[in-house]
Amino acid sequence: MSRRRHIGILLFDGVEELDAVGPWEVLAHWTREHPQDGWAAACLSHDGRPVTAAKGLVIGAHFALDDAPRLDVLVHPGGAGTRRLLRDSAHLDWVRAQRAIVPLLTSVCTGSLVYAAAGLLSGRPATTHSGALDELRTLDPTVDVRAHDRWVDDGDVVTSAGVSAGIDMALHLVARLAGADRARQVKRGIQYDPRPPI
């Protein structure tokens, strides 16, 4: 039997709750309800301890970065905490190291700013939260900023727009990694059928 493949969702203080939990809902439902697909999802934090998210929710991690299984997909959420990470040379070095060993890097919201600060989006199409588009352009003027895209799939890097867009991006990942039928099953399973009341 082939090795189980692993998706890691990064947690950090100040992470936007839905940036992490939205993709988690999609990816955990998929990997737990359809283990035959050979994927597993887990949350990672720097030291394996819980983090306090942007609106005060405390979220636990399954692994510390040093103890995590080898990742096949990394999900880097956004949130107010990314502003600190943009100036954290150790974190940027860690992100660059992931680029070298993780086949697929993804981001939600301002997670793409961290990728840009690490130099991973140069000359590539990408998106971010609508309120951070100019910041993305400033961090790396060579980025082809897709202001109106819900997510941008550029092969080994997938970025998505703000907050709830992470759910759509995660469903896209399921479709990409396990097929459109599986993504539709997951969508039905989590009862995701947006019909905003306003």
User: What string of DSSP letters covers 34-67?
Assistant: -GGG-EEEEEEESSSS-EE-TTS-EE--SEEGGG
**Which residues, other chains included, contact 141 with Cβ-Cβ below 8 Å and sequence gap of 6+?**
none
Signed CA dihedral, 41, 45, 49, 54: sign only: negative
Q: Is 109 annotated as catalytic?
A: yes
- Total H helices, total E strands in the chain: 7, 11
Beta bridge partners of 107: 76, 159
DSSP 8-state assignment for residue 86? T
Output the six-digit token pair for 100: 């070298």
Residue 34's Cβ-count burial label (10 Å; 0-12, 13-18, 19+) is middle
- The catalytic residue among 7, 59, 109, 173 is 109
CA-wise closest residue to 52 among 4, 97, 84:
84
112: left (phi over 0), alpha (psi -120 to 50) or beta: alpha
Tell me the catalytic residues. Answer: 109
